[in-house]
Structure 1
């Protein structure tokens, strides 16, 4: 048996992809539930089997080598195929057994899902639920390649590809409505009120990266009122909502969150929550491939989630 057969197992590839997600050995090991030396040894074994480094290091930061990028592509396809085969087999099993992988858009902080999963687990302890957070691009990639069963994201989407996928390949279940909330240092504004764009021009912001849905909404609205001299001033960006809000509170910068996040964490936030006039509410939905509802455990999950939301 070639040494790559034993080294490039599904487990080792999963470890490899998790390290890519964090680019930090300590964080990846914690997520995987193993020690950092064990993860380091596993990566070194893969590199030895392949014969070339998968990661390089610049200062304290890791980066993927060209070989690493090629293995990443192959690993995602391989694990996607395996997950698809396992999913097909489990379609013929009972509704109370199997695995469900859920991808959640990073900027969604929806505690109701967590509460439902706690209740669902009590009633169906033999169904394993895996929840992962992604940016929009990676979320769609994982959904397209069958690496996750369900995706929770904001709608309407802003990309033609997403709209096309929704119409031709996917079904959705509407979960709840949400809205963009501005957290501002301006004490002259009254919490919960809506204000025109003019109130927010010339401010400094700490935001999500440009690829995030909420940032696109804000820039789409404020951008129409900006000019070259008075552009949107964003000195800092974070993918973590908590880090973004904490930074806004430690500076004079304003920021944005979903209203659901603010409602859940308002006791720790000392900024004024207001809304921007002209921005409609958006819907949080569960997206899944057509035919997924025929899988007993998925059908059961969606049915129980709907009952939970209606209770």
Structure 2
């Protein structure tokens, strides 16, 4: 027994002498010379290996005899070593895996941030629609038309009227024209501008701001409106279309006038004075107080008379509203039967 124990002790000493450097010195040198990425991979692999060995050691510890004590230890050493070795060898794959996970997380966070920003932009856009207009650009045609002065007195115009210097110069140029009609229109525009300045209901401002890279007045107005984010008041059909194509809001006085005209429905009876011939044979033409044209089928024979007609249809055109009608049924050939009832004396 003594010799047996002595042999085992000598063998254990030899094994310890041989393998101790691999357990102490070699790992120390490797840790000192290894890169930080290798050390991090080794730690991760060791942790994963120890977790796996712990799960394996539970059933191995229930084995009978000496195996229940040896195999759990062996499993721990093997799993830990394999975990370190595999993690160090596959560190690039692990790095890519972690980078992909972090990248996907950053992508999700960026997408959420973009969604929040879009919602904020929508809220800002919605709130901008709710806020009153602070400035409105005036076009030359709207100033010459003159109705803007009456509209501003009613309180429907919210915000200050802005007249650029180049619009005022164009108005002055029209007022100095050799053509009598253009000269009168220009002078009327200057009078309306003076009236707007004296009116305290809506403030009016003449600005010296100019658009250097655009020559035409319409182009200057559109670009200034886009810069200031404000609408344009105009009667010019072409300017209206160009501004709408470039996303500029336009307030057209003619469209406003058409919108507030009395609504005529087919079947209504009205009294109208036949003023002139129509384009078609037998037609007569009359006008309402607001200037709406009424074409009366068979109305030529009542030229100069005020008769009662029945509306047949209403046509909305770019130029305005046109009403078609015919003499009221029951006409017996006597024009007086279509005249409006006389007022009692």
- TM-score, reference length from structure 1: 0.25
Tell which has more relative contact order, 1 or 2 (C-alpha 8 A, sep 6+).
1
- For the pair shown, the structure with the greater C-alpha radius of gyration is 2
- TM-score, reference length from structure 2: 0.23
- Compare the two structures and name the one with the higher strand fraction: 1
